[in-house]
Amino acid sequence: MMASGKVQVVMRNILKLHSVPFDQNPRDSMKYVVLTRAAAPASSVETIAQLAPIFAENGAMTLRFGTLATGSNAGNRLLGVTYPSMDAIEKTYDALGANADYQAALGTFDINYRGIIRVVSFA
C-alpha cells in the first residue's frame, strides 16, 4: 500500500482509550472515518459518553475516544468515528449542532483538527 504512492504517513501517536459505551452498528460497511482532536478537560470522557447515542442514532458504526500519550499533541483527546456514508456524517453533525449538551461542550473543547478519511478497499 505504501509503495503505491497513494498513502503517506503524516503523524503517529499512541492513544490511551477511554471506556465510552457505544452500540456498534455492523450491518453496514465502513466507508469513512472522522477523526477529531481537541484540547479538552478530563470531564470530556463523560461528555462524549453522553453524546454517543446521537452518533449511533444517526448512522455511526463505531466510536472510540482516548487521550494522546505521545507526540506534539500529547494530552489532547482524539475521537474516531466510522460511518457508512457522507450522508450519515452530515446527519450526525446536524443533530449534534442542534443539541444543547454539544453546544455547551464546545465551550470547553478546543478542536484543533478534524479530518474525514475515505476508506478504500485494496482487495
> Which tens digits make up the pLDDT trace of 95-111?
999 999 999 999 999 99
Q: Is 45 helix (H, G, I), strand (E, B) or coil?
A: helix
Q: Is 31 helix (H, G, I), strand (E, B) or coil?
A: coil
Q: How buried is 34 (Cβ within 10 angstroms: 0-12 exposed, 13-18 middle, 19+ buried)?
A: buried
In this predicted structure, the answer to whether residue 2 has a pLDDT above a threshold of 70 is: no
| Residue 70 backbone dihedrals phi, psi, to 5 degrees | -135, 170
Give residue 120's pLDDT band: very low, low, confident or very high (50, 70, 90): confident
Q: What is the pTM of this model?
A: 0.88
Give the model's pLDDT for residue 13.
Answer: 86
What per-residue confidence (pLDDT) applies to 122?
Answer: 57
- Does residue 113 surpass a pLDDT of 60? yes
Give me the half-sphere count of Cα atoms (radius 13 Å) on the Cβ side of residue 87. 1
CB 112 within 8 A of CB 39: yes
**CATH code reported for the domain at 34-118:** 3.30.70.100
Buried b (16+ CB within 10 A) or exposed e, 51-71: bbebbbebbbbbbbbbbbeee
Q: How crowded is the C-beta side of 29, counted as CA atoms within 13 Å? A: 5
Kindly list the domain boundaries of the chain, sorted by start residue: 34-118
Strand order in the sheet with 62-68: 15-18, 62-68, 77-83, 32-39, 110-118
Q: What is the mean pLDDT of the chain?
A: 92
